[in-house]
Structure 1
Amino acid sequence: MKTLLSKLIVGATLALNAAPLSAQTIGPGGEAATPTSEIAVPESSMEVLKAGGHTAALLWHDQSDFVNAVSAGATDEFARFGIEVVATTSAGFDAAKQRSDIETALVKNPSIILSLPLDPVTSAAAFEAARDSGVKLVFLSNLPADYQHPNDYAAIVTDDLYQMGKQAADALAASMGNKGTVGWIFHDAAYYVTNQRDNAFKTTIENDYPDISIVAEQGISDPARAEEIANAMLLRNPDLGGIYVTWAGPAEGVLAALRANGNTKTKIVTLDLSEPIALDMVKGGNVAAIVADEAYELGRAMAAAGILDLLDLDVPPFVVAPAVTVTAEDVAEGWMQSLNIEAPASLR
């Protein structure tokens, strides 16, 4: 899946100015997080909005199940208030293509643009014309360089990153009976999304589970090295009770290492939905749980933030969507809660 790749690019700029580790998700400038549940358009505004002839453009970084879910959440919220989506694009992780998409979309005079800025400097220039013409801008996780709230954009909307890491720790601990030794495979790069999630896992284990020890730590930047890293970790710690893996891609390599060693006891917890990882989980394998975000809710909240700004109502600068822990018992429900689609047939 491309979900995590998108999030790695998402976090590139915010990581440069990330605030110190806290027991909650914090924004790029240290802003407190507002839950998406608090971002709601007053029903009393419905008739005014429907009569306004407003439109929106969804200018995404790429195409994936994650992006599809965000788009669906946004489109449904816009439709409730009579706002037509006049453009939906995918830049394929190409900042130049994204700039072209913005220029093309502006020809249609959208009232609101939802987007994930790919490159801070290029995006700052690319969104300048939209900002200066009064288009309401809502960003997914990332922020163009030097953009200030509320003058330049309505809000940043992202995952509750701390809760994702904490829930991963809780799930792994539960699978081990709250005791034993674990390995921590974290993302070895300065990325806002993964750094907050990884550190939240470690902090939760250290603070909340006195009978669990992190005895092996290894950073990873290339997912292709995951199997090699896991083999080395298991060689030094053959009785390892569990392994946290920073996202689902490298978790597949860790799972391969466990299978190659005939290890059926070491549990894995990772982040972001993946069919191969979930398939092992539902078959009673090494995977104990997967923690994901509510992507559909991310889209709904982004649309609502843009509409609130359109109405000249206050919008918090930093908004987060809930995390969801998916287990073998509730994989179908978890898939629906996260992506608002049915789980793959192999899991059902």
Structure 2
Amino acid sequence: MSRPRNPRAAALVVAAAAALAACADGGGGGAPTTEASPPGTATTAAPGEEPSLEFRGPNGEVPVPSTELTLSDEEVAEVREGGYTAAFVWHENSAFIQAVESGVRESFDELGIEVVASTSAEFDAAQQAANVETVMANAPDIIVTIAVDPTTAAEAFRPAVDQGVHIVVLTTPPAGYTAGEEIVGIVTGELTAYGRGAAEMLGEALDGRGEVGWIYHDADFWFTNQRDQAFKDWLAHLYPEIEIVAEAGFSDPARTEDIASAMLTQNPELSGLYVAWATAADGVLSALRAAGRPEVRVVTNDLDETMTLDMVGGGNVVGVVANSAVQTGRDLATMAAYGVLGKEAPQMAVTAPVPTTAENLAEGWEAEFAEELPADLRDAAGG
């Protein structure tokens, strides 16, 4: 099932050149490795201590900067001569995923890898299992995916594993699948830095005080779970006069409008909201407008046009943590090449995000989509 291309969400895939050097202003962090954290968790600070930017992957994978993914000219030529094919088995069809796929396709073109299918499950695990069956009819050499539900995906992708398909994962692998065995490896973002960036943008917008709500992803999704928690940890550490007075989780992004409406009714003094990602924040903005609450500040993750327009128009959104989506896509393609070459890949390659406000919008858009800010958004931003 093909999906329409979004020309603005051109090229991306979570990874990129940004080295994971320590960054005191909140954008980056030290190389994210730790011996203390259990698999799939971030290090949680004790009261009064600075939270850690270190983390591990869902199976204890040690992150490395995505700049370590490289191919020689000879390796590129070898891949091009292989006549390989690939398919996408996505969890949803967001602007972020479209940008990631655009980046993968760009690099696949350079590598001579033909895309034979692209599917979206819209967060339905059963649909993703059916999509695996559909793409396997095309006998791809490579599958690029992110699991909707890790447990269900473990069974759904088993036929691909058994047939020797090289599976490359964006963020979330099927349960029990390990790098170098069932999958080639994982490409994702430096998740604890997302949380710190969101906390800093909200804290600054609220002048360091106020009551806020936390709308988190209530599902077994290791990346969003840690990213959401990192926001809480950094907000408490950096802004002790800001209190999270309301918490609510969602598994279906379509429910966030109702969640936000209830939160606003029960907490009339609310001055800020954190939402797990941009698509889920759409419903939150609708709730704020319906309630006539233009003063409530919102931060979220994954820059898109809806969040950008609200932000530059002086709406509720004061900050969005941008990914490096197109580059992430390129890195996924490079990792796929490792697979077909039989070259050992890093377990998990990561990139630093870019906390984005109206002041550095052009930088954030470039990081997210690898293109200049479109003219209509520049006009809306007054530049």
1:60 Cα deviation after fit: 3.1
TM-score (norm 1): 0.81
Aligned ranges 1:287-326 → 2 under 5 Å: 287-326=317-356
Q: Give the AA of the match of 1:307.
A: A
Counterparts of 1:45 and 1:281, CA distance in 2: 44
Alignment partner of 1:53: what SS? Answer: coil
The equivalent residue for 2:276 is: 246
- CA RMSD in angstroms comes to 2.8
The equivalent residue for 1:213 is: 242
The equivalent residue for 2:260 is: 227
- Listed as ranges, the gaps of 5+ residues in structure 2 are 1-37, 44-51, 379-383
The equivalent residue for 1:88 is: 117
> What's the CA shift string for 1:65-124, capped at 9, x where partnerless?
22221122112222333x222412214341242122232121xxx432212234445533
The equivalent residue for 1:286 is: 316
Aligned ranges 1:261-276 → 2 under 5 Å: 263-276=293-306
The equivalent residue for 2:107 is: 77
Alignment partner of 2:56: what SS? Answer: coil
Corresponding residue to 2:137 among 104, 109, 121? 104
1:62 Cα deviation after fit: 4.1
Alignment partner of 1:105: what SS? Answer: coil
Counterparts of 1:135 and 1:267, CA distance in 2: 46
The equivalent residue for 2:46 is: none
Alignment partner of 1:329: what SS? Answer: helix
Q: Give the AA of the match of 2:189.
A: D
Counterparts of 2:95 and 2:279, CA distance in 1: 15
Q: Give the AA of the match of 2:344.
A: D
The equivalent residue for 2:189 is: 159
Alignment partner of 2:138: what SS? Answer: helix
Number of residues paired by the alignment? 324
Could you tell me whether the CA contact under 8 Å between 1:248 and 1:271 is conserved in 2?
yes
Corresponding residue to 1:168 among 198, 202, 227? 198
Q: Give the AA of the match of 1:89.
A: S
Corresponding residue to 1:329 among 356, 359, 364? 359
Higher helix share: 1
Alignment partner of 1:89: what SS? Answer: strand
Counterparts of 2:369 and 2:319, CA distance in 1: 17
Could you tell me whether the CA contact under 8 Å between 1:183 and 1:243 is conserved in 2?
yes
1:315 Cα deviation after fit: 1.0
Counterparts of 2:201 and 2:138, CA distance in 1: 43
Counterparts of 1:80 and 1:259, CA distance in 2: 46
Give the fraction of aligned pairs with identical amino acids, expressed as a percent.
Answer: 35
Counterparts of 2:146 and 2:377, CA distance in 1: 30
> What's the CA shift string for 1:166-188, capped at 9, x where partnerless?
11011112223344443333334
Alignment partner of 1:285: what SS? Answer: coil
The equivalent residue for 1:63 is: 93
> What's the CA shift string for 1:245-268, capped at 9, x where partnerless?
223345344445544565444322
Aligned ranges 1:179-218 → 2 under 5 Å: 179-210=209-240, 212-218=241-247
The equivalent residue for 2:58 is: 28
Could you tell me whether the CA contact under 8 Å between 2:320 and 2:355 is conserved in 1?
yes
Could you tell me whether the CA contact under 8 Å between 1:155 and 1:318 is conserved in 2?
yes
Counterparts of 1:258 and 1:121, CA distance in 2: 36
1:43 Cα deviation after fit: 3.3
The equivalent residue for 2:162 is: 132
The equivalent residue for 1:39 is: 69
Counterparts of 1:176 and 1:145, CA distance in 2: 40
Alignment partner of 1:113: what SS? Answer: strand
Once superposed, which parts of structure 1, at least 4 consecutive aligned residues long, lie more than 6 Å away? none
TM-score (norm 2): 0.74
Alignment partner of 1:142: what SS? Answer: coil
Q: Give the AA of the match of 2:234.
A: T
1:337 Cα deviation after fit: 1.9
- Listed as ranges, the gaps of 5+ residues in structure 1 are 1-16
Alignment partner of 2:321: what SS? Answer: strand
Could you tell me whether the CA contact under 8 Å between 1:55 and 1:84 is conserved in 2?
yes
Alignment partner of 2:137: what SS? Answer: helix
Counterparts of 1:103 and 1:163, CA distance in 2: 37
Could you tell me whether the CA contact under 8 Å between 2:257 and 2:284 is conserved in 1?
no
Q: Give the AA of the match of 1:87.
A: V
1:281 Cα deviation after fit: 1.0
> What's the CA shift string for 1:214-237, capped at 9, x where partnerless?
2413113231323323423542xx
Query: Does 1:339 find its partner at 2:369?
Result: yes
1:310 Cα deviation after fit: 2.5
In structure 2, relative to structure 1, the CA distance for the partners of 1:90 and 1:33 (3 Å cut) is: same
Alignment partner of 1:229: what SS? Answer: helix
